[in-house]
């Protein structure tokens, strides 16, 4: 069949994803390198600022020591002090000049000797330091003056700005390093500027001196981070580009692969790759088509035709089998409906379905739309899975008369007693999941001539639950005879002294089990539901009796009103007084039987209804085991 394969994603989207897969690692790598460069530059400015602070503190320590030596001389004769002033200039590194002050009057200088100049303490930051832009001797040359005072006495020592600018220039070779004193600051070119420190855009670090009134700031100009990266990281840039190319290639390849079977199936469903193959059903004499079975095949764009056994299980597990079947029906309809007028009536079309379809009432609407596309009466639609399913008119079987309007009926397909069975009904209103505690026995007084096995309430309406086992037993009775050789004479003799407890809400099932057990020779105690059985056993143990001694075993149905077989088994196993009782769980819903649940509640064995030989064999094995013990 022709097929146009469409990609799940548009080409532009695939290209975008591929580019993004390649660019994203590169961008992330650049971001990481950028942050690393910022950290490196920050560490550099911190170290530079610390070193500059240390150097300036050493310089000022020398000037401070000179001032301390000279302070006692303040107020005395300048002629007596000039030699001492000049000696400090000679002996102390970085000291350019020294001066004596008395009562805020500079009266003696190492440069001029006797000298008269007023000193304004307000010019000095914290009364200690003054960054000057030169003096009459050296105009426009930075000077840093240190002031030490004691009452009216004072000493001034001066640092040459040349030494200061050398520190700023040599320590901060690649760093912008600034010295601030009060409202003035000094740059590495030796110029004094007035005003606050300018902001350094990159990795600014500021250090404040403890003993002296100055601040050091280090940083880098705008764009230094990128310049640093371009000079330090060229090999890493090449590596990032390589990784980006590899990542983009990986992203491109992964887009062509499925991350899981369900994703690949979803992609194929959207691309229309599941196509119908028609297997003709022909008349043996005329060789003409009487119908066709529609088979699903996967026309994979690379693998070609894929066998159904390789993808149908995944489709059922993922829940995609329902939309896949719907798409198959739509394609079949598009191909066959235009030529349906030429079919030999009745033309039969078979489409396989699974249990998942039976849980979705949308299947009914799908079938109606399918049939509506064909010429009326030209085809019939059957849902099969490799076997013929008997269909029973449920209304007729329960005495209500045959279903009159069969133009749009419903068929409920289920499994009872290991057999697949269809029930014809007029309609399906709802599918309701109920807990067994919400299911109750039929009201007393209903008699025996009915098909009720239980009742419940849904939306405050009483709902009757039919005993399907009774319906099937009347329409298609199950053989109850035990085959020859299953039970020998010796076992029958031993069975005469033994009792078996049976629990089942269906009167038909109780009778079937009872007759089977009585054929073996055991005595049977039959109870109607799990709650009744639990109360019976509790009464036994309250009387001091042991259930495992009173009964060879208990055979319990699972699906019962009031209390199901799972709950009954769990209650028995949780009671130390009766937990040794041998328990076999019996179910008519073999298709959905949960063996893991049986083990979880502690049952010893399980058995699907109703197979007399299997049931007899379990009882015989138990008799022999009990005889040995």
Answer for the pair 567, 513: CB distance below 8 angstroms, yes or no.
Answer: no
pLDDT range class, residue 67, cuts 50, 70, 90: very high
| Residue closest to 520 by CA, chosen among 454, 587, 613, 400 | 613
Q: Which of 387, 404, 433 is the last residue of a domain?
A: 387
Residue scoring higher pLDDT (507 or 68): 68
> Do 196 and 60 fall into the same domain?
yes
- From 339, 369, 387, give the residue that closes a domain: 387
Residues 195 and 282 in one domain: no
Q: Are residues 60 and 152 in the same domain?
A: yes
DSSP E strand stretches across 476-597: 499-503, 523-527, 553-557, 583-587
Band (500; pLDDT cuts 50, 70, 90): very high
Domain with residue 287: its CATH number is 3.20.20.450
Distance CA 582, CA 443 (A): 32
**Do 192 and 284 belong to one domain?**
no
Q: How confident is the model at residue 219 (pLDDT cuts 50, 70, 90)?
A: very high
pLDDT at 358: 60
Q: Is the pLDDT assigned to residue 208 strictly greater than 60? A: yes
Confidence of residue 249 (pLDDT cuts 50, 70, 90): confident
Q: What is the DSSP string of 184-216?
A: EEE-TTS-EEESSPPP-SEEEEEEE-SSSS-EE
Does residue 8 register a pLDDT over 80? no
Q: Is residue 455 part of a domain?
A: no
> 292 and 184, same structural domain?
no
- Say which residue the tokens 């300036």 belong to: 56
Q: Give one word for 348, left, alpha or beta, with left for phi > 0 and alpha for psi -120 to 50.
A: beta
* Cα–Cα dist 370/487, whole Å: 55
* 299 plus 194 within the same structural domain: no
Name the E strands within 472-543: 499-503, 523-527
Helix (DSSP H) and strand (DSSP E) numbers for the chain: 19, 26
CA distance 128 to 209: 13
Q: In this predicted structure, what is the pLDDT of residue 7? A: 43
Is residue 554 assigned to a domain? yes
Question: Tell me: the pLDDT tens digits for 340-390?
Answer: 878 776 677 888 877 666 666 677 777 778 877 877 765 655 544 545 567
- Burial code (b: 16+ CB inside 10 Å, e: under 16) for 94-122 equals bbbbbbbbbeeebbbbbeeeeeeeebeee
Pair (269, 346) in one structural domain: yes
> Do 178 and 301 fall into the same domain?
no
End-to-end CA distance of the chain: 68
Backbone dihedral region for residue 381 (phi beyond 0: left; psi -120 to 50: alpha; all else: beta): beta
**Residue 496: inside a domain:** yes
Mean pLDDT value of segment 532-558: 92
| 58 domain residue, yes or no | yes
Q: What is the C-alpha separation between 217 and 198, in angstroms, rounded? A: 9
pLDDT of residue 591: 42
119 and 265 part of one domain: no
Specify the residue for token string 């849980």.
359
Instruction: List all residues 6 or more positions away from 127 whose beta carbon is below 8 Å from its beta carbon.
Output: 121, 147, 149
Q: Does residue 2 lie within any of the structural domains?
A: no
Q: How many domains does the chain have?
A: 3
Burial of 258 (0-12, 13-18, 19+ CB in 10 A): middle
Q: What are phi and psi of 598, to 5 degrees?
A: -60, -45
Q: Are residues 263 and 194 in the same domain?
A: no
3-state secondary structure (DSSP) of residue 170 = helix
Q: What is the mean pLDDT of residues 449-455?
A: 77
pLDDT of residue 408: 63
Q: CA-CA distance, 451 to 433, in Å (whole number)? A: 21
Question: Is position 11 within any domain?
Answer: no
Average pLDDT, the chain: 83
CA distances to 127, 264, 301, 312, 591 from 273, in Å: 90, 11, 8, 14, 32
Q: pLDDT of 298-330, one tens digit each?
A: 988 888 888 888 888 888 888 888 888 889 889
pTM above 0.75, yes or no: no
What CATH code is carried by the domain that includes residue 69? 3.30.450
- Does residue 504 sit in the same domain as residue 604? yes
pLDDT at residue number 501: 95
CATH assignment of the domain containing 561: 3.40.50.2300
The residue among 360, 387, 414 that closes a domain is 387
What is the rounded distance in angstroms from the CA atom of residue 217 to the CA atom of residue 178?
Answer: 5
Q: Is residue 39 part of a domain?
A: no
pLDDT tens-digit series, residues 9-44: 567 777 888 888 888 888 898 899 889 989 999 999
Question: Is 290 in the same domain as 175?
Answer: no
Q: Determine, yes or no, domain membership for 38.
A: no
Average pLDDT over residues 434-438: 74
Tell me, letter by letter, the H, E, C secondary structure of 241-288.
HHHHHHHHHHHHHHCCCCCCHHHHHHHHHHHCCEEEEEEEEECCCCCC
DSSP label of 354? -
* 3-class secondary-structure state, position 180: strand
Structural domain of 154:
51-222
């Amino acid at each position: 069949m022709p097929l146009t394969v469409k990609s799940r994603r548009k080409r532009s989207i695939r290209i975008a994803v591929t580019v993004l897969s390649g660019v994203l690692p590169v961008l992330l790598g650049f971001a990481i390198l950028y942050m690393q460069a910022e950290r490196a530059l920050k560490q550099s400015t911190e170290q530079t600022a610390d070193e500059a602070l240390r150097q300036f503190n050493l310089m000022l320590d020398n000037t401070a020591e000179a001032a301390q030596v000279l302070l006692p001389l303040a107020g005395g004769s300048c002629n007596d002090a000039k030699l001492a002033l000049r000696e400090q200039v000679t002996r102390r590194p970085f000291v350019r000049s020294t001066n004596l002050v008395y009562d805020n009057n500079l009266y003696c200088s190492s440069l001029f000797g006797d000298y008269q100049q007023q000193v304004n303490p307000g010019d000095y930051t914290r009364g200690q330091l003054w960054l000057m832009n030169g003096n009459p001797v050296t105009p426009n040359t930075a000077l840093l003056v240190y002031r030490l005072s004691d009452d009216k006495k004072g000493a001034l020592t001066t640092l040459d700005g040349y030494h200061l600018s050398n520190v700023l220039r040599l320590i901060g070779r690649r760093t912008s390093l600034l010295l601030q004193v009060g409202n003035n600051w000094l740059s590495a070119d030796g110029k004094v500027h007035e005003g606050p420190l300018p902001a350094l855009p990159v990795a600014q670090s500021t250090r404040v001196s403890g003993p002296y009134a100055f601040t050091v700031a280090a940083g880098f100009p705008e764009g230094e981070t990128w310049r640093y990266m371009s000079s330090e990281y060229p090999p890493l840039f090449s590596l990032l580009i390589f990784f980006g190319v590899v990542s983009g290639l990986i992203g491109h390849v992964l887009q062509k692969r499925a991350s899981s079977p369900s994703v690949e199936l979803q992609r194929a469903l959207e691309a229309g790759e599941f196509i119908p193959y028609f297997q003709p059903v022909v008349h043996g004499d005329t060789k003409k088509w009487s119908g066709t079975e529609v088979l699903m095949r996967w026309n994979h764009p690379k693998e070609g035709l894929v066998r159904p056994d390789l993808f149908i299980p995944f489709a059922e597990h993922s829940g995609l089998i329902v939309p896949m079947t719907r798409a198959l029906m739509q394609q079949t309809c598009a191909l066959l409906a235009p030529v349906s007028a030429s079919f030999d009536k009745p033309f039969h079309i078979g489409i396989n379905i699974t249990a998942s379809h039976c849980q979705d009432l949308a299947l009914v609407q799908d079938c109606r739309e399918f049939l509506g596309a064909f010429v009326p009466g030209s085809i019939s639609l059957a849902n099969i899975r490799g076997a013929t399913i008997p269909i029973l008119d449920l209304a007729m079987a329960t005495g209500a008369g045959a279903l009159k309007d069969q133009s749009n009926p419903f068929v409920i397909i289920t499994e009872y007693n290991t057999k697949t069975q269809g029930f014809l009904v007029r309609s399906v209103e709802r599918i309701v999941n109920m807990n067994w505690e919400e299911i109750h026995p039929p009201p007393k007084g209903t008699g025996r001539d009915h098909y009720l096995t239980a009742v419940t309430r849904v939306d405050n309406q009483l709902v009757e639950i039919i005993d399907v086992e009774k319906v099937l037993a009347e329409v298609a009775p199950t053989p109850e005879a035990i085959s020859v050789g299953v039970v020998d004479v010796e076992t029958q003799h031993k069975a005469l002294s033994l009792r078996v407890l049976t629990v089942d809400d269906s009167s038909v099932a109780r009778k079937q089990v009872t007759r089977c057990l009585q054929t073996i020779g055991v005595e049977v105690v039959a109870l109607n539901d799990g709650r009744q059985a639990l109360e019976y056993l509790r009464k036994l143990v309250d009387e001091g009796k042991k259930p495992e001694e009173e009964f060879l075993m208990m055979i319990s149905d699972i699906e019962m009103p009031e209390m199901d077989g799972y709950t009954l088994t769990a209650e028995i196993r949780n009671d130390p007084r009766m937990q040794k009782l041998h328990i076999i769980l019996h179910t008519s819903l073999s298709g959905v039987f949960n063996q893991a649940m049986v083990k979880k509640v502690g049952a010893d064995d399980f058995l699907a209804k109703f197979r007399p030989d299997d049931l007899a064999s379990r009882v015989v094995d138990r008799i022999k085991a009990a005889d040995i013990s």
